[in-house]
Amino acid sequence: MLQKKYLNLDLDPTNGQYLLTVFHLIPKHDTEENFITAATEVAAESSTGSNIPIRKATPFADSLNAIVYKLDYEKRLAWIAYQWRQFDRGGNVQNILTYIAGNIFGMSDVVACKLLDVWFPQEMLDNYDGPSYTLMDMRNYLNVHDRPILGTIIKPKIGFTPSEYAQACYEFWSGGGDFVKNDEPQADQDFCDYFKMVDKVREAMDRAEDETGTTKVHSFNVSAPDFDTMLKRADYVISKMKPGSFAFLIDGITAGWMAVQTLRRHYPNVFLHFHRAGHGAMTRPENPIGYTVPVLTKFARLAGASGLHTGTAGIGKMKGSVHEDIVAANMALDLVGQGHFFKQNWGIIDGIKDKIDTKKANNNENIINTVLDFLNLRNESEHTIKERSFGIFFEQPWHTIKPMCPIISGGLNPLKLRPFIEVMQGVDFITTMGGGVHSHPSGTKAGAQALVASCEAWKKNIPLEEYAKSHKPLQEALEYYGKEMAHAYDFS
Ligand code: CAP
Ligand code: MG
């Protein structure tokens, strides 16, 4: 039933009161009239109403109605504005998703309802945590600044004892790798006691650091049956590991947004690693109902994840569009990110907002230069500005939702590093290769050495085949992955 009070095509949605959304929407019986009706029903169900007008509504309650403010029937697109004051105070991300990615996905009146993009007004950003410990902090700890952070996931996913698990970590680190993560299902299983695993990882890390002279990081999955157990596992890691040498991995979709935000608020000085196992049910491009990878990315950054898996842009094994995954990676990192429909400015220009034209500052460089001009910091070195764009500079007067690190994983191997750097057009990401390292014909350490050599070849701009002549593990990788895996990638 058309719910007129949720429709206003004359609304000005840019006054800072509204979180904006765009949905791809197809009604059960696809006519233009039903499309408009469905849009108002989605607005009602995701704000104050139901499938039928509510007589009990008061004028104030009605003032909180979500509003359909723009429609494009040809493309089946509906723009809906939500007053962000309707959301739970205190920076609650879960509550927003309960509205705009909740009941509406179950409505029988629609056969397609996909949240394509979302936009947060700057006035709203100030109420949400955003990342605390960033990629820049991890780079400083590892002393790695001009290349991706090279990581692995221990495989088999589970089944190792603590000692076997730690041995695999040691082999990867001793081969030159920086970063190891638990796989997403690894937790506290009877064959691999969580606390013993942590103890053994610390021993392996000490051994590898002594041998290589470089620092290492391990991302411990702290997903658990309940929050107390999650915090107990996290606190044990803290008690055993050096500050900076560990991250907390959370299965953000299955453990939930409250777990993500609890970790962000309890441990602001730890890299918060958001694994997105399960996201495909919402984000696969062919799914008619759900939300996109850039939307998931925006909410993970708002919630304060330090890093999120954002996909391999068609180079790995997981389904995902090149465009979506690159948009997501840039949305994670940049001060100004261009989404499918909205340009998201993640900064708030305290006290100088009326003095500079934020409309002119429409991308990273402009926005940084605009603020530096105003603050007469023009003569800073390029590196300092770059470093500062990671949020250090913008603590005062300009503060911002700090960048989040894209984590690139899924079916990758050392031969796929360069293609991703070229697609990404940058190195600000962590890559984790599981099968692509632990299937190397000469073992895990050689897998790590092949990955390190592949990165060196890229940095020196030497073709892999050429560089492999003096790097045996890379040569073996070329022979193995080049033959075995070439057909496995979907470059669509
Ligand atoms: C990769 C992985 C990661 C996925 C997550 C796995 O292993 O450990 O969980 O990459 O996907 O279990 O598949 P491989 P995404 O390196 O052996 O593929 O990053 O797309 O969320
Ligand atoms: Mg995994």
> Strand 149-153 and strand 110-119: pairing?
unpaired
List, for residues 439-480, the tens digit of each pLDDT value: 999 999 999 999 999 999 999 999 999 999 999 999 999 999
46 in Cβ contact with 85 (< 8 Å): no
Q: How far is the CA of 12 from the centre of ligand 1 (A)?
A: 43
List, for residues 24-42, the tens digit of each pLDDT value: 999 999 999 999 999 999 9
* Residue 266 near ligand 1, beta carbon < 6 Å: no
123 in Cβ contact with 286 (< 8 Å): no
Buried b (16+ CB within 10 A) or exposed e, 129-164: bbbbbbbbbbbebbebeebbbbbbbbbeebebebee
* Residue 131 near ligand 1, beta carbon < 6 Å: no
> Strand 110-119 and strand 289-291: pairing?
parallel
- For the record, the structure tokens of 131 come out as 């990342």
* Residue 181 near ligand 1, beta carbon < 6 Å: no
* Residue 434 near ligand 1, beta carbon < 6 Å: yes
Sign of CA dihedral 180, 406, 431, 394: negative
Which residues does 58 contact at the CB level (< 8 Å), separation at least 6? none
Looking at the CA of residue 157, tell me the nearest atom of ligand 1: 12
319 included as an active-site residue: no
List, for residues 188-227, the tens digit of each pLDDT value: 999 999 999 999 999 999 999 999 999 999 999 999 999 9
Q: How much is the average pLDDT of 35-52?
A: 95
pLDDT category of residue 357 using cuts at 50, 70 and 90: low
Ligand nearest to the CA of 416: 1
Helix (H, G, I), strand (E, B), or coil: what is residue 220? strand
Helix (H, G, I), strand (E, B), or coil: what is residue 308? strand
Ligand nearest to the CA of 451: 1
* Residue 311 near ligand 1, beta carbon < 6 Å: yes
Q: Is pLDDT of 400 > 70?
A: yes
* Residue 372 near ligand 1, beta carbon < 6 Å: no
**From the candidates 114, 155, 181, 298, which is the catalytic residue?**
155
* Residue 263 near ligand 1, beta carbon < 6 Å: no
Given ligand 1 and candidates 150, 153, 489, which is best to mutate, with the most ligand atoms within 8 Å of its CB?
A: 153
CB atoms inside a 10 Å sphere around CB 259: 21
Gap between the Cα atoms of 477 and 441, Å rounded = 8
Looking at the CA of residue 184, tell me the nearest atom of ligand 1: 9
The beta strand positions in 131-194, using DSSP E, are 149-153, 179-181
- The pLDDT assigned to 438 comes to 97
Ligand nearest to the CA of 307: 1
Which residues does 156 contact at the CB level (< 8 Å), separation at least 6? none
- The pLDDT assigned to 472 comes to 98
Q: Which amino acid would we find at residue 71?
A: L
- The pLDDT assigned to 390 comes to 55
Ligand nearest to the CA of 309: 1
CB atoms inside a 10 Å sphere around CB 392: 13
Give the pTM: 0.93
487 included as an active-site residue: no
Gap between the Cα atoms of 344 and 403, Å rounded = 12
197 in Cβ contact with 224 (< 8 Å): no
> Strand 18-27 and strand 77-83: pairing?
antiparallel
* Residue 184 near ligand 1, beta carbon < 6 Å: yes
Looking at the CA of residue 435, tell me the nearest atom of ligand 1: 17
- For the record, the structure tokens of 200 come out as 């053994």
Angle between helix axes 257-266 and 293-303 (nearest 10 degrees) is 30
pLDDT category of residue 2 using cuts at 50, 70 and 90: confident
The per-residue DSSP string of 317-346 comes to SS---HHHHHHHHHHHH-SEEE-SS-EEE-
Helix (H, G, I), strand (E, B), or coil: what is residue 83? strand
List, for residues 143-202, the tens digit of each pLDDT value: 999 999 999 999 999 999 999 999 999 999 999 999 999 999 999 999 999 999 999 999
List, for residues 237-295, the tens digit of each pLDDT value: 999 999 999 999 999 999 999 999 999 999 999 999 999 999 999 999 999 999 999 99
Q: How much is the average pLDDT of 40-68?
A: 94
* Residue 414 near ligand 1, beta carbon < 6 Å: no
**From the candidates 275, 279, 416, 445, which is the catalytic residue?**
275
Given ligand 1 and candidates 282, 319, 409, which is best to mutate, with the most ligand atoms within 8 Å of its CB?
A: 409
- For the record, the structure tokens of 119 come out as 């936009």
> Strand 347-349 and strand 398-400: pairing?
antiparallel
In this structure, which residue's CA is closest to atom 2 in ligand 1? 410
Gap between the Cα atoms of 262 and 246, Å rounded = 17
Q: How much is the average pLDDT of 79-84?
A: 97
Q: Which residues surround ligand 2, an ion (CB under 5 A)?
A: 183-184
* Mean pLDDT, the chain, whole residue set: 91
In this structure, which residue's CA is closest to atom 10 in ligand 1? 410
Q: Is pLDDT of 351 > 70?
A: no
273 in Cβ contact with 248 (< 8 Å): yes
Owner of token pair 């009706």 = 37
In this structure, which residue's CA is closest to atom 11 in ligand 1? 410
